[in-house]
Every structure is written in C-alpha cells, then in structure tokens.
C-alpha cells in the first residue's frame, strides 16, 4: 500500500514476493524501499527484497546470513544495517539475537559487524549522523529501557541514557532534526504505550511530552515514518500482539 501525504490517499502497489510475513524491518535508500527479514508462518526468515517506486516492481536480493524477525534496521549512505531480532515465533518470545549485519546496496553483499552488547528482539532503530540508535526491546520475556548507540566508522557500540519507560515491539521511531520521538510499543506489563518520550541524540538526554501529546490510539508493532515536519504512525496491533489496526495517525512535533 502506498500513502500520499499530500492528498491523504492510499493506492495499491505491486504485490511483494511471497511468502507473506510479519515483524520484519523496512528502510528506504533513495526512492527504493527495502523489506528485511520477518516471520512467515513458522520460524523467522532471512529474505531481502527491494521495491522501486518509479517502476512499481519488486526484486529479490541476497538473503541475510541470519534469519530473524523483530529486528531493527537503519540505512546510512549505501548500506543497510540489520540489528538484533529473534529466531522465535512471536514478539518477546525468546531466541533473542545480538547479531548485526550490513548490506551493501551497490554490491548486493552482506558483512557481519560487531554484535549488540546484549541480545535484543523487538527493538526500534534509527540513524542520526553516522550513528545508529537502538531503543528498548526484549531480552527474555519483559521489555527493557536500554539505549545502545552504534558508531559506523569505528564499528563499536556504547550505551546511551536509558529510556524513561520500558518499551518493546515498537519497531519504529520518528525523527526531527536531532530529536528522536519514541512512541507506542508495549509496556513491561504487556499493555500499549500512549506516551511520547523524546531523545536528544546530540546531548544524550530524555524529555517526556505532556499528556496532551499522547497517542490517541496506543498500540504496538506499528510502522513509524518521518516525513517533512510530521511523524506518521501506521497500522500495528491493539491491544499489543492482538487485533491488527488500520489506524494512520499523524503527530506534529
């Protein structure tokens, strides 16, 4: 499905190659959209596929070395970074991974990088500058509040200031300038989060927005996309890991 923010309308794109799967990651490089990993019926998968908007076509690319779902992904330059995830069949269901692999768009090849400091699944990842920030996720059954920062030039990890709240199954975060907006996901009691916490990537500090800024439809497993001065929260499950949601809400920082 293709959403046009200018007209607030949806249209259908070409159907992706099968099998269908959930709990994967997605990034854009230029005008191309990459679908990474995810879970078909049964165990986690390792497929990588690219959708080109200009031609409305899909291409299957080199598979990830490590099959996984519930992973984070980010793109910097001509590379896509696949981070963490799990081999199990459901969110926060065990089998967490610390694996980090980089896909080179130009050569259609994968390289294994320095692992996460701890295995994590059902995380959110986003780039800022030449770094990738990883938020929350599960190590075991319960969501956490960790922040890990990957420095791409040095291939090293460091810890950031922990989140004010425990979150997992958030799968995406928003960004405006150096501010990263963490919203949605599930709590340590497996309820949906409505609050929005803002991380200053350049200063390593957190701010919680007032209750008036809470998500009108809290949910987990949603897509989060920053476009212009707005952040869109699309789909997901409500309650978390429950019924699918067709909601498309927009937040203006």
Each residue's pLDDT expressed in tens, for the chain with a length of 253 residues: 999 999 999 999 999 998 888 899 999 999 999 999 999 877 789 999 999 999 999 999 999 999 999 999 999 999 999 999 999 878 888 899 999 999 999 999 999 999 999 999 999 999 999 999 999 999 987 899 999 999 999 999 999 999 999 999 988 999 999 999 999 998 877 788 999 999 999 999 999 999 999 999 999 899 999 999 999 999 998 866 678 999 999 999 9
- Write out the two tokens for 238: 């409500």
Q: Does residue 194 contact residue 212 with C-beta atoms inside 8 Å?
A: no
Q: Which residue has the tokens 């990830």?
A: 64
State the sign of the Cα–Cα–Cα–Cα dihedral 15, 45, 242, 245. Answer: negative
Taking the C-alpha atoms of residue 51 and residue 133, their distance in angstroms, rounded to an integer, is: 25
Provide, for the chain, the percentages of residues in helix, strand and coil under a 3-state DSSP scheme, each rounded to the nearest 5.
Answer: 0, 45, 55
Note the pTM of the prediction, 2 decimals: 0.96
- Write out the two tokens for 137: 């996720």
Taking the C-alpha atoms of residue 17 and residue 179, their distance in angstroms, rounded to an integer, is: 35
Chain centroid to CA 68 = 13
DSSP codes, 29-51: ETTEEEEE--B-SSS----EEEE
Res 119: pLDDT: 97
Closest C-alpha to 83, from 184, 180, 152, 30: 152
């Amino acid at each position: 499905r293709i959403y046009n923010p200018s007209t607030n309308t949806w249209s259908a794109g070409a159907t992706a190659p099968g099998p269908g799967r959930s709990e994967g990651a997605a990034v854009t490089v230029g005008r191309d959209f990459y679908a990474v990993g995810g879970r078909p019926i049964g165990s986690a998968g390792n497929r990588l596929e690219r959708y080109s908007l200009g031609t409305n076509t899909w291409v299957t690319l080199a598979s990830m070395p490590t099959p996984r779902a519930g992973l984070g992904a980010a793109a910097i330059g001509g590379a896509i970074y696949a981070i963490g995830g799990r081999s199990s069949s459901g969110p926060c269901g065990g089998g967490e991974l610390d694996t980090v692999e980089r896909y080179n768009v130009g050569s259609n090849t994968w390289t294994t990088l320095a692992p996460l400091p701890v295995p994590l699944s059902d995380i959110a990842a986003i780039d800022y500058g030449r770094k990738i920030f990883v938020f929350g996720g599960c190590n075991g059954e319960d969501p956490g509040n960790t922040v890990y920062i990957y420095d791409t030039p040095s291939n090293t990890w460091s810890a950031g200031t922990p989140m004010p709240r425990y979150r997992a199954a958030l799968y995406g975060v928003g960004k405006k300038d150096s501010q990263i907006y963490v919203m949605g996901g599930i709590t340590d009691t497996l309820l949906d989060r409505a609050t929005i916490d803002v991380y200053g990537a350049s200063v390593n500090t957190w701010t919680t927005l007032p209750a008036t800024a809470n998500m009108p439809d809290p949910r987990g497993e949603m897509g989060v996309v920053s476009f212009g001065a707005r952040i869109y929260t699309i789909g997901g499950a409500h309650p978390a890991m429950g019924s699918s949601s067709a909601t498309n809400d927009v937040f203006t920082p």
